[in-house]
Amino acid sequence: MALLLLVSPVLLYLAAAAVGAVASVNSDWTEPSEGITIYLASNGVHTDLILPRRAAGLDWAPFVPPAQFRGAPPGAKWVAFGAGERQVYLNTPTWGDLTLRIAVHALTGGERVMHVEWVADPRFAQRTLRLRPEEYRRLWAAIRAGFALDANGHPMLLDHPGYSPADRFYRGVGKTSAVDTCNQWVAGRLRLAGIKAPLWSPFTGGLMTRYPPTGRSD
């Protein structure tokens, strides 16, 4: 009986995640034949959005200047954005560094931070989407709203060098949890942009199985 009480919440969570990954919001959305290309990249656990540096009259460079990075690729035309729990991002450079204490903290209300990386070539990403200009602008605004800003309206850099010369961490808005995971944050940004997205996707599957693969012929 005790084992059943322990296992049941996990099974219910996994079942709800499976249903949420299949169910859709903005279900009437269709991808345009032409538009602004964005990418979704995943390592199997975490998903990032990759957006063009400049598109639809918007430019990421003044908001997250390449000069703030130790070595952004010269002339990089793409920027990757992800959201995650502070301790997971900053203290677990590899999955082998993840401890039970950090994992529990992330799943029960950890501090959200933003991860930004300047990208020279986004074609390593597994999924590609085309957006209408108005959809892209909504997505841009939704991502920007995830950053905590200082009194001058600038994102607040964290005292961490990043994983590579091309990436940095910034203070985010809100908390992480087992419900509002890094992958659900991505799904939520797509939903706010008006794009068809999973109702709830705490794991990568709800995102990676939904959108066309990079390198498609159309």
Say which residue, 96 or 67, is predicted with more confidence: 67
- Rounded mean pLDDT, 140-145: 98
Mind listing the pLDDT tens digit for each residue in 171-195? Answer: 999 999 999 999 999 999 999 999 9
Q: What is the pLDDT of residue 216?
A: 65
Mind listing the pLDDT tens digit for each residue in 32-67? Answer: 999 999 999 999 999 999 999 999 999 999 999 999
- Rounded mean pLDDT, 205-211: 95
Q: What is the pLDDT of residue 157?
A: 97
- Rounded mean pLDDT, 64-92: 95
CA angle, 47 then 50 then 51, to 5°: 150
Pairing of strands 36-42, 78-85: unpaired
Say which residue, 214 or 10, is predicted with more confidence: 214
Looking at the predicted structure, is the pLDDT value of residue 4 above 80? no
Give yes or no for a contact between 131 and 35, defined as CB atoms under 8 angstroms apart.
yes
Instruction: Give the predicted TM-score (pTM) of the model.
Output: 0.93
Q: What is the pLDDT of residue 92?
A: 81
> Residue 1: which pLDDT band, with cuts at 50, 70 and 90?
low
**What are the start-end ranges of the E strands in 53-166?**
54-55, 58-59, 78-85, 111-119, 127-131
Which of 33-37, 102-106, 123-127, 189-193 is least confident?
A: 102-106
Looking at the predicted structure, is the pLDDT value of residue 3 above 60? no
User: Which of 142, 172, 136 lies closest to 58 in space, CA to CA?
Assistant: 136
CB atoms within 10 A of CB 140: 24
Looking at the predicted structure, is the pLDDT value of residue 96 above 90? no
β-partners of residue 197 are 25
Q: Which residues of 160-182 are buried (b: 16+ CB within 10 A; e: fewer)?
A: bebeeebbbbbbbeeebbeebbb
**What are the start-end ranges of the E strands in 34-175?**
36-42, 47-52, 54-55, 58-59, 78-85, 111-119, 127-131, 167-175
Give yes or no for a contact between 208 and 42, defined as CB atoms under 8 angstroms apart.
yes
> Residue 210: which pLDDT band, with cuts at 50, 70 and 90?
very high
Looking at the predicted structure, is the pLDDT value of residue 104 above 90? no
CA distance 206 to 199: 9
Q: What is the pLDDT of residue 7?
A: 61
